[in-house]
A and B are shown apart, each in its own frame.
Chain A
Amino acid sequence: MLEALLLILLCQLLGETLVQLAALPIPGPVLGMLLLLGWLFLHGGVADEVGRTADTLLAHLSLLFVPAGVGVMLHWERVREHWQALALALVLGTLITLVVTALTMAGMRRLMAWWRRPSGG
């Protein structure tokens, strides 16, 4: 548990450091995730313990967004003033993005399967 937590924190720390040093436009934890992924590929696997620690953290991923979400109370005025524009962009914009992404990826899969069929027999 402790070693696994340390591995995760070290990846995050390294990510944060590299982002600062190279002035990268992405946040440290996202780079940290790629670093951990690279480490797992190099190491050739996930120790059970690391896997369990990650699963525990990810099981309650939604909870971790609550404190930032409560911050909506700082923006009542703006939200009330622009609620129609915001509601439309949030609901319709998000669902359009979801549909376009799913259709593009599913379409590409179908295209690749069709491409492979004649040569694969």
Chain B
Amino acid sequence: MADARLSDIWVYLAALPLLWLTATLTCYLIALRLYRLAGSTPLLNPVMVAIALLIGLLWLTDTPYPIYFEGAQFIHFLLGPATVALAIPLYRQRHRLRALALPILVALPVGVATAGLSAIGLAALFGAEPAILLSLAPKSVTAPVAMGISEKIGGIPTLTAVLVISTGVVGAVFGTAVLRLLRCQDPAVQGFALGLSAHGLGTARAFQVDATMGAFAGLAMALSAFATALLLPPLLGWIGSG
């Protein structure tokens, strides 16, 4: 009797966006708590842990992704305004921005070409099919741009979204350690490299370290979104015909 009652409540709640919105916040906060308990090691990246917890929860409750997304879309929506808001830390860095204009203009196309070509080249070594290669090509760009580019060049947009987030997690987990190995100490350079290679998640990681680093990561993310949308399709066309 009590069981039937409980399952009625479950059926009712499972149909509301409230349930999965709350679950997303809860899992993220648990992941954040774990991350801090472990001394903020990037290996326990909160995004990665939260995603794993939620997938476990969805699997246990036999909930399909579209049902989950009905609730989680409210958080997903905020990506847009947050992207716009990146203009503010950038404006605060306007004096450094002017001094760094030339290095940025050179590093941008070099980085964007490296991102696309390294992804395709490495995956091609393992004989991945063309649809996978094309889905990988825009992986360093922020998710909405990457999905648009993927569709345009013949990839699978939803697969691209997943690869983009995985790329961001890789950048956030290993990025600062690799930059330390390079003995690169300029926060503007560190931030720019993190934002270009790992978009918003690299930017989020950069903000955890330093405000200047975060601002330049945000700049790199925005500029590489433009540059990749403009450069990648002709670059792939040129490789394909060559």
**A and B associate in one complex:** yes
Write the residues of chain A forming the contact surface with B, with a CB cutoff of 8 angstroms. 5, 8-9, 11-12, 15, 25-30, 32-37, 40-41, 46, 50-51, 53-55, 57-59, 61-75, 78-79, 82, 84-86, 88-106, 108-109, 112
Complex interface: chain A residues within 8 A of B72 (CB): 66-67, 70
**CB contacts between A and B, total, < 8 Å:** 313
Give the CA-CA distance A66 to B172 in the complex, in Å. 14
* CB proximity of A54 to chain B, nearest CB, Å: 4
> Would you give the 0/1 interface string for B181-202, flagging 1 where the beta carbon is closer than 8 Å to chain A?
0101010011011101110110
Give the CA-CA distance A75 to B115 in the complex, in Å. 23
Give the CA-CA distance A65 to B182 in the complex, in Å. 28
A94 touching B51 in the complex, CB below 8 Å, given contacts A70-B65, A99-B182: no
Give the CA-CA distance A65 to B48 in the complex, in Å. 10
Give the CA-CA distance A69 to B172 in the complex, in Å. 14
B193 touching A109 by the CB < 8 A rule? no
A70 touching B47 by the CB < 8 A rule? no
A69 touching B47 by the CB < 8 A rule? yes
Q: A62-B28, A101-B114, A108-B102 are known contacts; what are 17 more A-B pairs with Cβ within 8 Å?
A: A12-B81, A36-B87, A46-B91, A54-B85, A61-B200, A65-B200, A65-B204, A67-B24, A69-B51, A70-B72, A90-B167, A92-B118, A98-B198, A101-B192, A102-B184, A104-B103, A105-B107
Complex interface: chain A residues within 8 A of B82 (CB): 57-58, 61, 64
B132 touching A78 by the CB < 8 A rule? yes
A66 touching B51 in the complex, CB below 8 Å, given contacts A36-B84, A90-B163: yes
A94 touching B78 in the complex, CB below 8 Å, given contacts A26-B145, A27-B225: no
A89 touching B118 by the CB < 8 A rule? yes
* CB proximity of B41 to chain A, nearest CB, Å: 15
* CB proximity of B77 to chain A, nearest CB, Å: 9
Complex interface: chain B residues within 8 A of A106 (CB): 103, 184, 186, 189
Residue from A41, A54, A65, A86 whose CB has the most chain B CB atoms within 10 Å = A65
Q: Which B residues, 150 to 209, have Cβ-Cβ distances below 8 Å to chain A? A: 152, 158-159, 161-163, 165-172, 174-175, 178-179, 182, 184, 186, 189-190, 192-194, 196-198, 200-201, 203-205, 207
Of the candidates A35, A66, A105, the one whose C-beta lies within 8 Å of that of B104 is A105
A33 touching B178 in the complex, CB below 8 Å, given contacts A98-B193, A100-B111: no
Provide the main secondary structure of the chain B interface: helix
A84 touching B106 in the complex, CB below 8 Å, given contacts A28-B80, A94-B140: no
* CB proximity of A70 to chain B, nearest CB, Å: 5
Residue from A5, A85, A102 whose CB has the most chain B CB atoms within 10 Å = A102
A67 touching B229 in the complex, CB below 8 Å, given contacts A29-B144, A97-B196, A100-B114: no
Verify if B88 is at the interface (C-beta below 8 Å from A). yes
Complex interface: chain A residues within 8 A of B119 (CB): 89-90, 93
Give the CA-CA distance A97 to B117 in the complex, in Å. 10
Give the CA-CA distance A78 to B82 in the complex, in Å. 31
Complex interface: chain B residues within 8 A of A90 (CB): 119, 139, 163, 166-167, 170
Verify if B83 is at the interface (C-beta below 8 Å from A). yes
